[in-house]
A and B are shown apart, each in its own frame.
Chain A
């Protein structure tokens, strides 16, 4: 489906890009690295700030963080195949986690299984749902911030989250991870 064009760039309110870079580079890098890889993040995180600088900060798009996360998410989208491969690999790897270690390792194995199931579920989500989920969880953005980041209605954010949550819950199956991970 096509994305309809939005309004022409409104007048930019340029804020200090230097300050924005210093305050947010690390977290944007982390967000990208967790979805793709450290190496990719090295390059893409820099691109986020270049795009941010060139595009200019528009106050009507909400806060600085949603704006940066929105750009990052857009850039990540170009690496969709890489991301899906990553989640699938993680899902397989966790499934094969060795159980040879002693008790201390058991918790880690359980966590690994959990990670695997979640990663498998992430690979199966459609892109829009995955973006909303990961902006919410990894980026810790609120509904309103996710809406601003992706420039979609808040209602859409809510429905995508609902759908994705169901998938995640289904993937977790009968395991009761919400309790297991409390330890």
Chain B
């Protein structure tokens, strides 16, 4: 006898459903069986998923105001325009990418911004703050050079001009109280400290002679492995099959088709443009890939919105609302086919303090991403750690 059995015994029981209820439920099920079969999802919320560009643009403008990034693209090719949705957009992008020369440089940089919106309360005002952290990865071409990863909190600020006004009305407090769903324990609903400057910086720096990249979502790969990937979509598919087979034992549940959908990871790895083009072609042919059209990403950059895996029918907590419908998106650079933003959670409905279409949280690649002749300097005011940063 323990608490769980005690619960089962003590909580009021319910009478069995009446014959009428069972009959009605069964009738609804039978009616559904008459409908044409569609690839549905168990956790669908039955909403019409729409993308309100106006709302998105408004959010974007604000995010841009707080995150100023300088584009380092020199002599950039003309961005591909997305005339209509459809996976052929990816094929055309692949044509563009395939013509691009291989990039040189001693290091490949992956600067990721992890940003998220949180509802807070202070001085009788309720508003949103944007919490931003950043991880900068420096991956050397030569495995004898150090790999450096730096992680820090960037800022916690009122998210929009209106939020900033509310914050000022509240007396510009340094700490604000998170707004949580009812029933959340105080320990899980802590106060948040606003910060305008980076803090809590931690970094690692060490050579990794094996050359194995930290991102092992496809397999444990080195830059040499990536360089050897085929630039033909069919051959690439077969190569991916070998990765899938290699992992089959530990993740036997994943089908090869499902694994292929995750090959979008290639767009986030330092592969040659020709391989990226092949990956785009491969992905364009998958039934799970969906191009949603043009989008302005959370940092204000034009991109192509695409999804490779299940991306609708999700929900997240926001403020007191425990169930705000969300969809997820990946935003691709319309010139290079690389990822501008991943795991972009977009509000699929409005909630208190949150307009439908707002970016709720996301992982954005800062503009300095890619190959560079620069080398990582030891960051000042940053604690050296032995712990592996991801």
Tell me if B15 is interfacial: C-beta within 8 Å of chain A: yes
Tell me if B59 is interfacial: C-beta within 8 Å of chain A: no
**Shortest distance between the CB of A81 and any CB in chain B (Å):** 7
Query: For A26, what are the chain B residues with a Cβ–Cβ distance below 8 Å?
Result: 16-17, 22
Is the Cβ of B262 less than 8 Å from the Cβ of A7?
yes
Contact of A50 among B8, B29, B181, B315 (CB under 8 A): B29
Contact of B15 among A11, A38, A137 (CB under 8 A): A38
Is the Cβ of B4 less than 8 Å from the Cβ of A133?
yes
Contact of A51 among B11, B24, B43 (CB under 8 A): B43
Query: For A123, what are the chain B residues with a Cβ–Cβ distance below 8 Å?
Result: 183
Is the Cβ of B25 less than 8 Å from the Cβ of A45?
yes
Bound Cα distance from A56 to B44, whole angstroms: 12
Bound Cα distance from A7 to B41, whole angstroms: 12
Tell me if A4 is interfacial: C-beta within 8 Å of chain B: yes
Query: For A67, what are the chain B residues with a Cβ–Cβ distance below 8 Å?
Result: 42
Tell me if A46 is interfacial: C-beta within 8 Å of chain B: yes
**Shortest distance between the CB of A167 and any CB in chain B (Å):** 8
Is the Cβ of B32 less than 8 Å from the Cβ of A25?
no
Contact of A2 with B343 at beta-carbon distance under 8 Å, contacts A8-B258, A33-B14, A77-B322 already known: yes
Bound Cα distance from A169 to B14, whole angstroms: 25
Bound Cα distance from A165 to B315, whole angstroms: 27
Bound Cα distance from A1 to B114, whole angstroms: 12
Query: For B29, what are the chain A residues with a Cβ–Cβ distance below 8 Å?
Result: 17, 21, 46, 49-50, 53
Query: For B32, what are the chain A residues with a Cβ–Cβ distance below 8 Å?
Result: 50, 53-54
Tell me if A126 is interfacial: C-beta within 8 Å of chain B: yes
Docked complex: A107-133 residues within 8 A CB-CB of B: 111, 114-115, 118-119, 122-127, 130, 133
The digit string for A131-144, where 1 denotes a CB below 8 A from any CB of B, is: 00110111010000
Is the Cβ of A17 less than 8 Å from the Cβ of B33?
yes
Query: For A1, what are the chain B residues with a Cβ–Cβ distance below 8 Å?
Result: 316-317, 361
Contact of A8 with B17 at beta-carbon distance under 8 Å, contacts A77-B323, A115-B12 already known: no
Bound Cα distance from A154 to B343, whole angstroms: 24
Docked complex: B1-49 residues within 8 A CB-CB of A: 1-17, 21-22, 24-26, 28-29, 32-33, 38-44
Is the Cβ of B310 less than 8 Å from the Cβ of A7?
yes
Tell me if B326 is interfacial: C-beta within 8 Å of chain A: yes
Contact of B328 among A5, A12, A56 (CB under 8 A): A5
Bound Cα distance from A6 to B310, whole angstroms: 6
Tell me if A41 is interfacial: C-beta within 8 Å of chain B: yes
The digit string for B312-347, where 1 denotes a CB below 8 A from any CB of A, is: 001111000011001010000000000000010100
Docked complex: A22-58 residues within 8 A CB-CB of B: 25-26, 29-30, 33-34, 38, 41-42, 45-46, 49-56
Bound Cα distance from A42 to B39, whole angstroms: 26
Contact of A8 among B16, B26, B253, B310 (CB under 8 A): B310
Query: For B253, what are the chain A residues with a Cβ–Cβ distance below 8 Å?
Result: 60
Tell me if A10 is interfacial: C-beta within 8 Å of chain B: yes
Query: For B361, what are the chain A residues with a Cβ–Cβ distance below 8 Å?
Result: 1-2
Which residue of the partner chain A has the closest CB to B17? A29
Bound Cα distance from A115 to B13, whole angstroms: 12
Bound Cα distance from A45 to B22, whole angstroms: 9
Bound Cα distance from A76 to B307, whole angstroms: 28
Tell me if A101 is interfacial: C-beta within 8 Å of chain B: no
**Shortest distance between the CB of B321 and any CB in chain A (Å):** 10
Tell me if A104 is interfacial: C-beta within 8 Å of chain B: no
Is the Cβ of B255 less than 8 Å from the Cβ of A111?
no
Query: For A133, what are the chain B residues with a Cβ–Cβ distance below 8 Å?
Result: 4, 7
Bound Cα distance from A33 to B345, whole angstroms: 33
Is the Cβ of A118 less than 8 Å from the Cβ of B10?
yes
Is the Cβ of B360 less than 8 Å from the Cβ of A2?
yes
Tell me if B254 is interfacial: C-beta within 8 Å of chain A: yes
Query: For A147, what are the chain B residues with a Cβ–Cβ distance below 8 Å?
Result: none
Tell me if B388 is interfacial: C-beta within 8 Å of chain A: no
Is the Cβ of B4 less than 8 Å from the Cβ of A124?
no
Query: For A25, what are the chain B residues with a Cβ–Cβ distance below 8 Å?
Result: 17, 22, 25-26
Tell me if A177 is interfacial: C-beta within 8 Å of chain B: yes
Which residue of the partner chain A has the closest CB to B43? A74
Query: For A157, what are the chain B residues with a Cβ–Cβ distance below 8 Å?
Result: none
Which residue of the partner chain B has the closest CB to A22? B26
Is the Cβ of B7 less than 8 Å from the Cβ of A49?
no
Tell me if B309 is interfacial: C-beta within 8 Å of chain A: yes
**Shortest distance between the CB of B375 and any CB in chain A (Å):** 33
Is the Cβ of A71 less than 8 Å from the Cβ of B42?
yes
List 27 A-B residue pairs with CB atoms under 8 Å apart, sorted by A's residue number. A2-B314, A2-B316, A5-B307, A5-B311, A5-B343, A7-B258, A7-B310, A9-B39, A10-B257, A10-B258, A25-B25, A25-B26, A26-B17, A29-B17, A30-B16, A34-B11, A34-B12, A49-B25, A54-B40, A54-B42, A56-B40, A80-B322, A119-B11, A123-B183, A126-B183, A130-B183, A165-B4
Known: A1-B316, A9-B310, A42-B21; 18 extra A-B contacts, CB below 8 A, are: A2-B345, A7-B309, A10-B255, A25-B17, A38-B14, A42-B25, A46-B29, A50-B29, A53-B32, A60-B253, A74-B42, A80-B182, A80-B322, A126-B185, A127-B322, A138-B7, A169-B3, A177-B10
9 tightest Cβ-Cβ pairs between the two chains A and B: A55-B42, A33-B14, A54-B40, A46-B25, A8-B288, A137-B4, A2-B345, A137-B7, A60-B253
